[in-house]
Amino acid sequence: MKWPTLCTDEFFSNPDAVIEWSKTLKYNKTEGPYPGERTDLLHNVDKTFFENTTRKIIALLYPNEISSDKINWRAKQHFQKIKTKDHKFPGFIHQDTIAEFTAIVYLTNEEKAGTSIYKRIKEPNPNYDEIKNKAYSNLKYTKDFKKELKKNRENHQKVLQFAALKNRLVLFDSAQHHGVDHFGSKEKERLTLITFFTSIWKEGGDLKNHVRECQKI
């Protein structure tokens, strides 16, 4: 994998303020094979928040480079909330094919509703996205959905698990197979801040060596 897997706690200095702000935003039902609802892309909602949070995430990878202002990146960021009563099944194991690496900040305290990293041991059914889309759109979990979810889970082996502790950030290569084992039960909603970094580059330099150094830490 090109990018390391990182986990850090206490990401926001004031997570409660971030959570309260997230509650004032408009959420839209997700399009495609994804559960729950998402806000509009945050660079269109609050550019300062977007720039500050993405910069802070990049600083985890390149703490000595971020102050030079020579690192550039593109990212898509939004809040996502999932009503736990509507999602009693684990999530499908998948890859984030739109991005280079993914960063998730958990904003509810639900240990079981974290993210697990998997190794694929068998090829998945190519039709499972369509089945997911139908199920998440109308919240009706058919026999086909349950059958495909079972097959999806059997096709992967868990190698790492992160608990969803409030204000914890987890970062991983978007090509890593990952998924949610449990959407939660203590909280009414699973709230996260998700950032997909689609590209990153340094003016007049190469970032690869710095990533390898980061992976050794």
The domain limits of the chain are 6-216
Phi, psi of 165 (to 5 degrees): -85, 140
Q: What is the DSSP letter of 48?
A: H
The pLDDT of residue 127: 63
Nearest to 95 by CA among 115, 81, 68: 115
Ranges of residues in the chain with a pLDDT under 70 are 32-33, 68, 87-88, 124-141, 184-187, 205-217
Name the pTM for this structure: 0.86
Residues 127-150 pLDDT 10s: 666 666 666 665 566 787 788 788
Specify burial of residue 135 (Cβ count, 10 A radius: 0-12, 13-18, 19+). Answer: buried
pLDDT in tens, 66-101: 776 778 899 999 999 988 777 667 788 888 888 999
Q: Are 12 and 79 in contact (CB under 8 A)?
A: no
**Runs of H (alpha helix) within 113-159:** 128-138, 143-154
Q: Which CATH superfamily is domain 6-216 in?
A: q2cbj1_9rhob like domain (2.60.120.620)
Which pLDDT score is estimated for 70?
A: 78
Q: What is the pLDDT of residue 181?
A: 82
